[in-house]
A and B are shown apart, each in its own frame.
Chain A
Amino acid sequence: MAWQQRNGRRYYYRSRREGGRVTHDYFGTGPLAWTVAKMDAGERERQQAQAEAEAALRRLYEEADALVGRLIAASKELVEAVLLADGFYRHQRGLWRRRSWAYAQRPNE
């Protein structure tokens, strides 16, 4: 809500949420209003800077995690390729089993 213009004069209000309802604190037009307005502006700037810092940190984590994701995908694909090459297959997309024709003679058979 901040500054409100009424009858050619500016009045400062601070809005806040209280129990699900928005209430407004009135600070008038004098030095108190200017001081509170300055404090609120500082607080907003601080919050914005914090949000930007958090977003930058998130981006850093997301980039690093994306690389881990790529590694996971690559290792899964390579492992799958190796198992397929050894004659295994996924039984109903679940457990790996070996195709019967892939079995060689046991040494003692």
Chain B
Amino acid sequence: MLNDPTNEQLRLLVDNATRGDRQAVLALRQYLQGHPEIWQEAGDLAKLAAEQQLHLISNDDVLLRESLLLQLDAFKQQLIEPPGSPPETILIDRIAVCWLQANLADVVLGQNAQAGKGQWEFLQKRAERAQKNLLAAVKELCMVRKLVREARARPMRQPRVSTKAAAGQTEPVADQPTACHASSQADTAAEIPAHSTLPNAQEPGHNPP
């Protein structure tokens, strides 16, 4: 997704945000809010991957294919926990695809018990890899749920800039390095635009409160 040249901007923002650039974090946030199509792309990719796995399993057997689709939908419904979020949705899609892949790999492995050594090893490795993919996807969904809820409970603070900065002069107030509390200067708070020319506020990783 990020390797797509059209997402150069997103990759740059992710790289800068990873380095602790606070402005990049804000810009990344705005980018994600302003580009819902990236979730659509990921969703399409998930559909395509599921279609291909279904084709391998059902092999033009329409009844089997439709049964599996229903089962897949039911499986996804079990994983949904309101209120959802785009990353959760895409992770649920990923789990569903990995689940299909793991099941297919197991079935094929069973069917090829008499296969040659090379083929058997290939199928066995594939089944193991599919199982690992499935477990990793489930683990990631749990992690994301936990973190997204934490973020929802305590949404990100908007950065404070001086009234001068709000008026157009770029002079940021020094960021509070520790956990922030409501301040009497809150009335002077102003949101920094995504393409702000403010210098990057490189911050080393702080310990969370």
Question: Using a CB–CB distance below 8 Å, which chain A residues touch chain B?
Answer: 50, 54, 58, 60-61, 63-65, 67-68, 70-91, 96-106, 109
State which of A76, A91, A103 has its C-beta within 8 Å of the C-beta of B180: A103
B71 smallest CB distance to A (angstroms): 18
A78 touching B17, Cβ below 8 Å: no
Interface residues of chain B: helix, strand, loop or mixed (majority): helix
Q: Which residues 12-69 of B sit at the A interface, judged by CB distance below 8 A?
A: 13-14, 17-18, 20, 22, 25, 28-29, 31-32, 38-39, 41-42, 45-46, 48-49, 52-53, 55-56
List B residues at the A interface (Cβ < 8 Å): 1-3, 10, 13-14, 17-18, 20, 22, 25, 28-29, 31-32, 38-39, 41-42, 45-46, 48-49, 52-53, 55-56, 85-87, 90-91, 93-94, 97-98, 101, 108, 115-116, 118-119, 122, 126, 129-130, 133, 136-137, 140, 143-144, 147-148, 150-151, 154-157, 175-182, 203, 205-209
Contact partners of A81 in chain B: CB under 8 A: 2, 10, 13-14, 17, 28, 32
Measured between alpha carbons, how far is A85 from B10 in the docked complex, in Å?
11
Q: Which residues of B contact A63 (CB under 8 A)?
A: 52
- 13 residue pairs A–B, Cβ–Cβ below 8 Å: A58-B119, A61-B108, A64-B53, A72-B133, A75-B137, A81-B28, A85-B29, A88-B151, A96-B143, A99-B206, A101-B22, A102-B156, A103-B180
